[in-house]
Amino acid sequence: MPAHSAIYGESTSPQAIIAYQPEPTQALDWTSPTDPENPRNFSLGLRVYTTAAVSLLAFVTAFAASIYSPAIDDVQKVFNVSEEIALLPLSLYNLGLAFGPLVGAPLSEVYGRKSVFLLTTPVFALFVLGAGLSRDVASLCVCRFIAGVFAAPAISNASATIADVTDGRYRGIALGIYYAVPSCGAVLGPLVGGFVVMGKGWRWTQWVTLMFIGAAYIPVLFTPETYKVRLLQQRAKKLGLDHTTPQPKQSIQAAVLYFLRKLFFRPIHMLFTEPIVTLVCLYSGFLFGLTYTFVVASPWVWSHYYNFSPAAQTLSFLSLTLGVCLVPIPQVLVDRYIYQPRLRGHLATSPPSTPFPAEQRLSAALPASLVLPLSLFAYAWTARPAIHWIVPMLLQALAMMSSIVVYGSVNLYMLDAYGPLYGASASGAAMLCRYTFSAAFPMFSLRLYRALGAGWAGSLLGFLAVGLAAGLWGFWKWGKSMKGSGKYEIST
């Protein structure tokens, strides 16, 4: 099989790559680079609006996960269950997010991106409503898990939509900044939820989530369809063209097996056989787990070492929010002054068929991978009564910022490395890992901090970050020679 090429700007999300429905024939394509129906040629205002609308919905998806965390004590008392059981609705929602592509990808393939938002979000809201009305912890767990499954397509579909409307040269910076959006939701959730629980009780965390879903859903109603395959099929229908390639009729069982292979079996196989996918998945999983470690354990740190009141513990999440808000600064600076100049130099000096090395996507991740463990160690050992609380808070913000910078860069590196053909499956493996880790970490992180204290618990996280950073620097140095060691084609 000939090596495939990585086309700058092509969407590489699972929804964008997997094709079960017949695709347009090669004869039907955009008429020119300025084709007005191409989403990248939409007006600037429409593209900005679309990006903001889908990003807001992705924000709410993550917000819905973490707003529950301040309710754990209340749920524990109301339902008379252990702390571990009360934590389950938080973890199960995140676990549901891991399986969301199994719902979103087939719908996107058949109905387009916009329809995925319109179809899955009301189901998401319905099960959030069910969670709020739950009369026992079992029904709460079930509703939260299913809510996560139907919330997940908003996150993966948003990145695909942004890639659809963004010119290739700006894709990296656009997605790099977008990757901070779910993290922003994750750290703002406890900030809002803490005050909600203090004033109204745990059920109101779900009612507030419903309000946010409604506020985010309305703008999406007015966004255009951006999926190229769907748009070209609609054009062919208007022109009366035969826009499909005849295919044998497939059974429902065959369709299910097809998507399971593309979205589950192949990603898991790549996870264990592809060094790049293994490292990126472990790194992404750790970074998401770290975020939820902060969400669950940070209030204990401020309460235990600084005697913060419940309200002050809630306000402490402003430090994590600050870290998320700072993410665009290094992303933009690295893209403008390092990545883009190198790309222009490559295009000017290399033959057109020579790809730009995917390792250049790591330009932001490399320094951030060093800042992350240093800030984790510093945060761990400055969280003590003798040192003013603002110091560990700022260090925590620095750790949060560097973790998102690393996350965005390594995922773009993996997508560019595998290109359109296997990038979707690699991305699916990363999604499974990061949400599985974010489901697991809350179950033990608070216990870890209570048992070891902030110093050694934070140091353990720092040592893990050091090990992962070493692997990242190894890929920067030896990545080209390692690319051929796997069983899947690497983009050339």
Banded model confidence at residue 484, pLDDT cuts 50, 70, 90: low
Q: What's the pLDDT at 4?
A: 35
Banded model confidence at residue 26, pLDDT cuts 50, 70, 90: very low
Cβ neighbours around 22 below 10 Å, total = 13
Q: What mean pLDDT do residues 226-238 have?
A: 84
Does the structure show a pLDDT above 90 at 336? no
Banded model confidence at residue 251, pLDDT cuts 50, 70, 90: low
Task: Write the DSSP assignment of 427-470 as a string of letters.
Answer: HHHHHHHHHHHHHHHHHHHHHHHHHHHHHHHHHHHHHHHHHHHH
Q: What's the pLDDT at 134?
A: 95
Please write the tens of the pLDDT for every residue from 433-457. Answer: 999 999 999 999 999 999 999 999 9
Does the structure show a pLDDT above 70 at 120? yes
Does the structure show a pLDDT above 70 at 242? no
Banded model confidence at residue 200, pLDDT cuts 50, 70, 90: very high
Question: In whole numbers, what is the pLDDT of the chain averaged over residues?
Answer: 85
Please write the tens of the pLDDT for every residue from 97-110. Answer: 988 777 776 677 67
Q: What mean pLDDT do residues 331-336 have?
A: 89
Q: What's the pLDDT at 8?
A: 32
Number of H helices and number of E strands within the chain?
20, 0
- Work out the angle at residue 340's Cα, subtended by the Cα atoms of residues 334 and 342, and round it to the nearest 5 degrees: 100
Banded model confidence at residue 400, pLDDT cuts 50, 70, 90: very high
Ranges of CATH 1.20.1250.20 domains, the chain: 12-241, 265-338+356-485
Please write the tens of the pLDDT for every residue from 361-395. Answer: 899 999 999 999 999 999 999 999 999 999 999 99
Q: Is 2 helix (H, G, I), strand (E, B) or coil?
A: coil
Q: What's the pLDDT at 5?
A: 34
Handedness of CA 205, 211, 215, 220 (dihedral sign): positive
392 — phi, psi (to 5°)?
A: -65, -30
Q: What's the pLDDT at 21?
A: 41
Q: Which range scores top for mean pLDDT: 320-329, 334-343, 422-431? A: 320-329
Long-range contact set of residues 141-145: C-beta below 8 Å, sequence gap at least 24: 141/88, 141/89, 141/92, 144/68, 144/89, 144/90, 144/92, 144/93, 144/96, 145/92, 145/93, 145/95, 145/96
Instruction: Enter the tokens of residue 463.
Output: 């040592």
Fold of 12-241: Growth Hormone; Chain: A; (1.20.1250)
Q: What's the pLDDT at 487?
A: 64
Does the structure show a pLDDT above 80 at 23? no
Does the structure show a pLDDT above 80 at 28? no
Q: What mean pLDDT do residues 19-23 have?
A: 40
Handedness of CA 456, 460, 461, 462 (dihedral sign): positive
Please write the tens of the pLDDT for every residue from 178-195. Answer: 888 888 999 999 999 999
Determine the Cα–Cα distance for residues 113 and 116; give it in Å rounded to an integer: 5
Does the structure show a pLDDT above 80 at 149? yes
From 19-28, 113-122, 304-313, the region with the lowest mean pLDDT = 19-28
Return the residue matching tokens 């890639």.
163
Q: What's the pLDDT at 7?
A: 30
Does the structure show a pLDDT above 90 at 322? yes
The class (CATH top level) of 265-338+356-485 is mainly alpha
Q: What's the pLDDT at 6?
A: 33
pTM of the model as a whole: 0.86
Q: What's the pLDDT at 485?
A: 57
